[in-house]
Structure 1
Amino acid sequence: MTESGSPLACTRRETRKRERQERILQVAHRYFLDQGYAGTTMSAIAQTLGGSKGTLWKHFPSKDVLFAAVIDRVAQAYRARLSQLLDEQADIQTVLENVCTSLVSKVTSPDVIAVHRVVISEGGRFPELARIFSELAPRNTRAVLAAFLENAMKRGLLRKADPLDAARALMSLCMAGTHHGLLMGQIIDFDQDDIDRDAAFAVDLFLRAYAPDSRPATSI
Structure 2
Amino acid sequence: MPLSCSRREARKRDRQEMILQVAQRYFLDHGYAGTTMSGIAATLGGSKGTLWNHFPSKEALFAAVLDRVAQAYRARLSQILDAEGDLEAVLLRACASLVGKITSVEAISVHRVVISEGGRFPELSRIFSELAPGNTRVLLAAFLERAMQRGQLRTADPLDAARALMSLCMAGTHHQLLMGQITSFGPEDVERDAAFAVDLFLRAYAPEPRSAPPPTPASSI
Note whether the superposition's TM-score is higher than 0.5. Answer: yes
Equivalent residue in structure 2 for 1:182, among 174, 177, 180: 177
Q: Could you tell me how far apart the structure 2 residues matched to 1:53 and 1:61 are?
A: 11
The C-alpha deviation readout for 1:116-155, integer Å capped at 9, x for no partner, is 0000000011010000000111001000000000000001
Matched, 1:140 2:139: no
Equivalent residue in structure 2 for 1:104, among 93, 96, 99: 99
Q: Which amino acid aligns with 1:83?
A: S
Pairwise mapping of residues 16-31 of structure 1 onto structure 2 (< 5 A)? 16-31=11-26
Deviates more, 1:8-17 or 1:141-150: 8-17
Q: Specify whether residues 104 and 141 from structure 1 end up closer, same or farther in structure 2 by C-alpha distance, changes over 3 A only.
A: same
Work out whether residues 86 and 99 of structure 1, in 8 Å CA contact, stay in contact via their aligned partners in 2: yes
Matched, 1:167 2:162: yes
Work out whether residues 36 and 118 of structure 1, in 8 Å CA contact, stay in contact via their aligned partners in 2: yes
Equivalent residue in structure 1 for 2:191, among 185, 191, 196: 196
Q: 2:124 — aligned with what?
A: 129
Q: Could you tell me how far apart the structure 2 residues matched to 1:86 and 1:189 are?
A: 28
Q: Specify whether residues 159 and 52 from structure 1 end up closer, same or farther in structure 2 by C-alpha distance, changes over 3 A only.
A: same
Q: Could you tell me how far apart the structure 1 residues matched to 2:121 and 2:45 are?
A: 28
Q: Could you tell me how far apart the structure 1 residues matched to 2:4 and 2:116 are?
A: 45
Q: Could you tell me how far apart the structure 1 residues matched to 2:58 and 2:78 are?
A: 30
Q: Could you tell me how far apart the structure 2 residues matched to 1:214 and 1:41 are?
A: 58
Matched, 1:157 2:173: no
Q: 2:85 — aligned with what?
A: 90
Q: Which amino acid aligns with 1:178?
A: T
How many pairs align?
210
Unpaired runs of 5+ in structure 1? 1-5, 216-220
Q: 1:3 — aligned with what?
A: none
Q: Could you tell me how far apart the structure 1 residues matched to 2:92 and 2:2 are?
A: 47
Q: 2:216 — aligned with what?
A: none
- Percent identity between matched residues is 77
Q: CA RMSD in A?
A: 1.1
Q: 1:39 — aligned with what?
A: 34
- In the TM superposition, structure 1's runs of 4+ consecutive aligned residues that sit over 3 Å from their partners are none
Q: Which amino acid aligns with 2:190?
A: I
Q: Give secondary structure in 2 for the equivalent of 1:129.
A: helix
> Taking structure 1 as the reference length, what is the TM-score of the superposition?
0.94
> Taking structure 2 as the reference length, what is the TM-score of the superposition?
0.93
Q: Which amino acid aligns with 1:90?
A: G
Q: Which amino acid aligns with 1:101?
A: A
Q: Specify whether residues 80 and 214 from structure 1 end up closer, same or farther in structure 2 by C-alpha distance, changes over 3 A only.
A: farther
- The structure with the largest alpha-carbon Rg is 2
Q: Could you tell me how far apart the structure 1 residues matched to 2:178 and 2:209 are?
A: 33
Q: Which amino acid aligns with 1:94?
A: A
Unpaired runs of 5+ in structure 2? 211-221
Q: Specify whether residues 9 and 199 from structure 1 end up closer, same or farther in structure 2 by C-alpha distance, changes over 3 A only.
A: same
Report deviation, 1:214: 6.6
Q: Give secondary structure in 1 for the equivalent of 2:35.
A: coil
Q: Could you tell me how far apart the structure 2 residues matched to 1:189 and 1:131 are?
A: 29
Q: Could you tell me how far apart the structure 2 residues matched to 1:156 and 1:48 are?
A: 54
